[in-house]
Amino acid sequence: MTFTEGSMKAVLGKRTSVLAMALVSSFAIPVFAKPITAVVRLKERVSMDTLALNVQNPYSTHYGIPYTPEEIRQVAAPAQGEYDQTLAQLRQEGFTVVSESPTHLWVTVKAEKKAFELAFATQVQLLGNGLRSHTALMSIPNRFPALAAVHGLDNTRKAFSKMKIAQHQVVQALDSSQPGVSPDAVKEAYGLNPIYSSGITGKGQHIAIATYDDFSTDDVNQFYGKLNLQPGPTVDKVTFNGVAATNNNSAMETELDAEFSGMIAPGASIHVFTSAENSDAGELAMFTAILDDNRAKVVNYSWGACEKQLTPAHQAEMAKVNIVIASGDSGSDSCQDGSVVADWPAANPNVIAVGGTTFSQNHGSIAESGWNGSGGGISGVWELPLWQQALGAPFTKRSYPDVSFNADPSSGQALWSSGSWTVIGGTSMAAPQWSGFLALVGEARQTAGKQTLGFLAPIIYSFNASDKTTLFHDVTSGSNGAYTAAPGWDAVTGWGSMNGSPLLNRLLSN
C-alpha cells in the first residue's frame, strides 16, 4: 500500500514533595524520575489532507506521486523563522530536541516532568513501571504559536501483535524441511506463479515493517536462505527512538512480517522500523520515521488494540496513515470482553485491513472459509468513507476488513525463529503477504513506466461485480462472532482473498 502523506495529536505541591523526600530518605533508596520523551506536532500551512487528496486525484499534478519529506516541508510546514523560534523557545524552557522530522511537522523532545507541566498547563502522574498519564487537559500557550499538539505524556495504551501460535506445532529442524502449508501451495493457490514467470519479483521495491522491540535479522535471512528465494530479499533494521529491547513474542511477530512479505516479493528490500516504545507517541514516531525515510511505498503493521481505548488526540494524529494492517484475531470482539467492538487501527478508513480465512485446496483449487478469529465489524469512531457508500445498512460507519488471506492457525504457515520452525496463524500472517503482493504490483507499474498505485481501497471498491468475481476468491461461509461471510463484501473477509495474476494486471491498468 502506498504510504501517502499523512499526518500522524500541576506541578506537585511543596508539602507533597517534602513528604516524598522524607519517605525516600527513611528507606535510604534514591528515586529519580526519568526524563519524558514526547513528540510535538507543528501546525500545517496546507492541510495534510489536501496533500493526500492530491496524490489520489487524477487531475492533480501530484497524482500517484507521493510528496517527499522535503516537498511537505516546503508546502505544509511553518515558515523557517517561526520553526526556529519554536525550537529556541522549547530549549529555553528546559526541553532537549532529540530529533527533527525533515518535514518540520514533528519534533521529538525530552525534558523533566516539571518542564512539561509548566509549559503546557497540565499535570503528569507517574504510575510506576515506566507508565504515566496526564491528569489535566493540556493547553498550548500563546508563546508557542506554531505548536499544534503534544503527544507522549500518556503512555498507558499498548499495541498487541496479531499472531497466533498453533498448538503443538513448534518443530526443531536440522534441515530445510518446513511444516505447515507450504509457500509453494500458497503461491499456487493465490495465483502468484504467473507473476513470477513474467519476471516480476518486487525488484526495486521497498517494504517497511512497523513494529516494536528488537528482532534477529539472522533468523530472517536464514528463512530466505532455507526457501532459496530468488533473487533474494534483503532486510535491514532502522532505529529511530532509541535502542529497542528484545522480547521473544514481539521478535517472532517482527520476523514473521519480514519473512512472509519477502517470501511473496523475493526481489524486494525489507526495512524494519523497530520502535523502542510501545505507546501512542511510539506509534506516531514510528510512522513519522517511515515517512521521513522516504523509501517504502508499502508499509505493513501487524499490531493493534481495542478501538475504544483510542484517545481523540491520537485518533486525529493517525487519521491519515495509509498502510496494510492485520484486522485482528479476536473476531468481532476486539476488546475480548464479550462486546462487539472494532479493532484499532484496522477500522481506520485510510488503511487496507486484511482479514483471515481458513485455507484449503480442493483438487488444486482454493477452498476457503472465513476464520472465526478474523477481525471485522463496524467502527464506533470513523465515518463511512465515500468508497464504502454502497455497502448499505448496518454498515453505516467505516466497516472492515477490506480483503483477506490465510490466517487460521489450523491451516498455518511456518516461520523461522530462534533456530526452529514454528507454525503460526493470525491476521498478522495474512497482512505481510498482501504487502508482498503490493510490492509486486509496484514493480509491474514501475516497469510499465507508471506512477505508484496510490491508495488501494477506493480502487478495489470501484471494481464492478464481474471484475470482483475474477480478481478475488469470494469467501461465502464462516463467522467471526457477530458477522457472517456472504457473497460479495462481508465483515469477516472483505471482498475475499486475492487472485494474484488477474488482480495485478487489473491494478496495472489503473
Enumerate residues 6+ apart whose C-beta is below 8 A from 314.
Answer: 9, 151, 157, 280, 283, 284
Give the 3-state secondary structure of residue 212.
Answer: strand
Catalytic hit among 214, 255, 257, 280: 257
Q: Which of 365, 370, 354 has its CA nearest to residue 487? A: 370
Grid cell in block for residue 64: 500517484
DSSP letters for 9-39:
-----HHHHHHHHHHHHHHT----PPPEEEE
* Spatial distance between the Cα atoms of 427 and 102, rounded to a whole number of angstroms: 33
What's at 408, amino acid-wise? D
Helices 69-76 and 48-56 pack at an angle, to 10 degrees, of 130
Catalytic hit among 161, 302, 374, 428: 428
Catalytic hit among 117, 253, 317, 368: 253
490 as an active site residue: the answer is no
Query: What are the backbone dihedrals phi and psi of residue 452, each rounded to the nearest 5 degrees, phi first?
Result: -55, 145
Enumerate residues 6+ apart whose C-beta is below 8 A from 200.
Answer: 440, 443, 444, 447, 504
253 as an active site residue: the answer is yes
* Spatial distance between the Cα atoms of 190 and 183, rounded to a whole number of angstroms: 11
Grid cell in block for residue 464: 464492478
Q: How many CB atoms lie within 10 A of CB 245?
A: 11
317 as an active site residue: the answer is no
Query: What are the backbone dihedrals phi and psi of residue 99, each rounded to the nearest 5 degrees, phi first?
Result: -160, 155
Q: What is the DSSP letter of 388?
A: G
Q: What is the DSSP letter of 341?
A: B
Judge whether 154 and 280 are in contact, CB under 8 Å.
Answer: yes
Just list the catalytic residues. 253, 257, 428
